[in-house]
Amino acid sequence: MIAKDAYTAGMGLPTDFPSANLPPDADEPTRLAAEAWVQIARLFVSQQSRREEVAAQLGLHISDMISLFHMQPGEGVSQRSLAEHWACDPSWVTNRIDRLEQVGLVERRLSAHDRRVKEVWLTDAGAAIRTRGMEGFARAPEVLGSLDVADLRALAKVLAKLDLPDPTRVAMNAPVAGPVAS
């Protein structure tokens, strides 16, 4: 059981969050990678209230803001692709898109490739809000200001070595195949 005082202020990982279920004989690179990951996860989770604040300043719920991040300006995406990308029930996506459509940030259009599929497109207002939200999310957390310039330079250099995919890019499904002729 985790002690009540093991949690940092606000929502986050407990301060005594285990690095992983590493075997006692784990090699140094494995141990260091696990320790680094726990710190990255704690940093990310510790910023939840800031992310919610950015969304609220834009008149959105955090899930609305994150939904907008997964839509690219000038590109449509099917709700099915969003559901697969988010690994969620399609009805949740429909709910999100309905709300974003009601406030004028997205619109549904028939796919140019398959008229049976509706795609979600950002409106001009949606693209502008998405940009402002991403700018807000991109502001460095204040806690990083406690590091000296040499540490910040080293951190930036190390993280830049990681070949990270763009998490906002949603892979489009192949168009639905038509009926098979017999």
The pLDDT of residue 20: 61
Longest dimension (CA), the chain: 71
Residues listed for the chain: 182
Tokens of 6: 């093991």
3-state class of 39 per DSSP? helix
Q: What is the pTM assigned to this prediction? A: 0.75
What is the torsion angle, in degrees rounded to the nearest 10, for the CA atoms of residue 12, residue 60, residue 111 and residue 74? -90
3-state class of 110 per DSSP? strand
Which residues have a Cβ under 8 Å from the Cβ of 143 and sit 6 or more positions away?
Answer: 43, 46
Domain annotation for the chain: domains and CATH numbers: 29-160 (1.10.10.10)
**Tens digit of each residue's pLDDT (9 = 90 or more) over 91-148:** 999 999 999 999 999 999 998 888 888 999 999 999 999 999 999 999 999 999 999 9
Is the pLDDT at 3 greater than 80, yes or no? no
E strands within the chain?
A: 77-78, 106-110, 118-122
Contact 64, 122 (CB under 8 A): no
Tokens of 66: 């994150």
Tokens of 138: 């991109």
Residue 12: band (very low, low, confident or very high) from pLDDT cuts 50, 70, 90: low
Say if strands 118-122 and 106-110 run parallel, antiparallel, or are unpaired: antiparallel
Please state, in angstroms and rounded to a whole number, the distance separating the CA atoms of residues 46 and 108: 35
Average pLDDT over residues 51-68: 94
